[in-house]
């Protein structure tokens, strides 16, 4: 049963035959959803980190202490943001490739770094500026390309083999 | 206070590998599930938000994907308790970009062209620089 689940999943994506075509499926609304993916993940992580600092170290023998975290606003907002991230991430994977979504949404790391610099006045080292430039270049690069690999339907593959 | 952990390259490599492999398997299974389910915008228009959520939650690939992402998360927590954040975080985050690109090409049959390889490499390097 498990072997079937692990081996079978990918067989219906591609049955051979016609060359795979990439196309752009992006609309303004879908870019907005990718923006939500990009921003909510790092912001949610940051808020959780702030909130958990208030809780302090949690011993494995006193896991009930974790429930105190639910009384901290930062933790609750962080969890809400991470739920929003997962929902929009799933939606984006239904109309864009994984290799498009991951680089395109990495701009979130840059947004958080810039917020830290200009909002919290944190120091950003030259190494981090280099990282920001590289990620921004990658996002600009991927955003100009197609977003979705169109898979041939099984009957298309049969027709292609017949020809 | 900075905590210095004993340096054990073999154990560190094993922990990073566990995080990267489980995260990649999780991402690929979830991406595969979402492709099978179809465009969520269309499903939501036809069956409403509840129908779209149900379509995702009853998909076995999605559930396996979530299990692997959970394994990856706890592997990360374990690794952070045994090794330095400055090594584990950049290594696992940037390597996952590359392994995802390779896995997407061979398992999801995505058309990973030169543009996407370059973008994955740039993000990989960028994440390493930002978190180093």
Among candidate residues B7, B22, B12, the one with its CA nearest the CA of residue B80: B12
Which segments within A6-159 are labelled E, that is strand? 21-23, 148-150
Report, as ranges of residue numbers, the positions in chain B whose pLDDT lies below 70. 1-6, 132
CB contact under 8 A, A99 and B37: no
Give A63's DSSP letter. Answer: G
Confidence of residue A156 (pLDDT cuts 50, 70, 90): low
Instruction: Calculate the average pLDDT of chain A.
Output: 78
Q: Is the pLDDT of residue A17 over 50?
A: no
Number of H helices, E strands in chain A: 7, 2
pLDDT of residue A20: 63
* Distance separating alpha carbons of residues B76 and B16, to the nearest angstrom: 8
CB contact under 8 A, B116 and A103: yes
pLDDT of residue A15: 43
pLDDT of residue B91: 81
Give B66's DSSP letter. Answer: H
- The distance of A150 to chain B (nearest Cα, Å) reads 9
Domains of chain A, by residue range, sit at 26-152
Q: Which of A4, A44, A90 to mutate to test the interface with B (most CBs of B within 10 A)?
A: A90
pLDDT of residue A33: 93
Which segments within A32-162 are labelled E, that is strand? 148-150
- Residues in B closer than 8 angstroms to A106, CB to CB, are 97, 123, 126-127
pLDDT of residue B24: 95
- Residues in A closer than 8 angstroms to B119, CB to CB, are 103, 138-139, 141-142
Q: Is the pLDDT of residue A4 over 50?
A: no
* Distance separating alpha carbons of residues A112 and B36, to the nearest angstrom: 33
* Distance separating alpha carbons of residues B111 and B105, to the nearest angstrom: 7
Among candidate residues B101, B127, B103, B104, the one with its CA nearest the CA of residue B116: B101
pLDDT of residue A158: 53
How many residues in total does chain A contain? 163
- Residues in B closer than 8 angstroms to A26, CB to CB, are none
Among candidate residues A42, A154, A162, A20, the one with its CA nearest the CA of residue A97: A20
Contact B120, B78 (CB under 8 A): no
Confidence of residue A155 (pLDDT cuts 50, 70, 90): low
Q: Is the pLDDT of residue A47 over 80?
A: yes
Region A102-116: what's the mean pLDDT? 82
Among candidate residues A120, A60, A59, A108, the one with its CA nearest the CA of residue A82: A108
The structure's pTM equals: 0.78
Report the greatest alpha carbon distance in chain B. 57
- Residues in A closer than 8 angstroms to B126, CB to CB, are 106, 109, 130-135, 138
Q: How confident is the model over B95-123, as pLDDT tens digits?
A: 888 899 899 999 999 888 888 889 889 98
CB contact under 8 A, B111 and A22: yes
Six-digit token string for A33: 């959803």
Cβ-Cβ contacts under 8 Å between A and B: the total is 138
Q: Is the pLDDT of residue A161 over 60?
A: no
pLDDT of residue A13: 47
For A10, the closest of B32, B37, B97 (CB atoms) is B32
CB contact under 8 A, A94 and B36: no
Give A120's DSSP letter. Answer: S
For A90, the closest of B34, B109, B127 (CB atoms) is B34
pLDDT of residue A6: 46
CB contact under 8 A, A93 and B112: no
Q: Which of A19, A44, A89, A103 to mutate to test the interface with B (most CBs of B within 10 A)?
A: A103
């Amino acid at each position: 049963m498990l072997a079937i689940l692990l081996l079978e999943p990918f067989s219906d994506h591609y049955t051979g035959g016609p060359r795979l075509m990439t196309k752009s499926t992006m609309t303004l609304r879908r870019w907005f959803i990718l923006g939500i993916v990009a921003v909510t993940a790092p912001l949610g992580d940051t808020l959780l980190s702030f909130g958990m600092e208030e809780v302090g170290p949690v011993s494995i023998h006193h896991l009930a202490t974790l429930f105190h975290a639910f009384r901290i606003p930062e933790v609750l907002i962080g969890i809400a943001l991470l739920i929003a991230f997962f929902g929009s991430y799933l939606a984006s994977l239904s109309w864009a490739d994984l290799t498009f979504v991951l680089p395109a949404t990495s701009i979130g790391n840059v947004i958080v770094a810039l917020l830290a610099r200009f909002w919290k006045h944190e120091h950003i080292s030259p190494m981090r500026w280099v990282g920001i430039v590289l990620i921004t270049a990658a996002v600009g690069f991927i955003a100009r390309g197609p977003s979705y690999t169109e898979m041939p339907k099984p009957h298309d593959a049969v027709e292609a083999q017949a020809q | 206070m900075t905590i210095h952990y004993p340096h054990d390259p073999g154990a560190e490599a094993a922990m990073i590998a566990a995080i990267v492999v489980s995260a990649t398997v999780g991402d690929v299974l979830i991406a595969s599930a979402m492709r099978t389910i179809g465009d969520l915008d269309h499903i939501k228009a036809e069956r409403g938000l509840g129908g779209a959520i149900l379509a995702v939650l009853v998909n076995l690939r999605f559930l396996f994907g979530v299990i692997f992402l959970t394994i990856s998360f706890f592997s990360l927590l374990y690794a952070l308790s045994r090794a330095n954040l400055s090594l584990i975080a950049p290594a696992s985050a940037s390597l996952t970009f590359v392994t995802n690109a390779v896995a997407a090409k061979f398992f999801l049959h995505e058309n990973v062209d030169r543009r996407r390889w370059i973008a994955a490499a740039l993000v990989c390097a960028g994440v390493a620089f930002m978190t180093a």
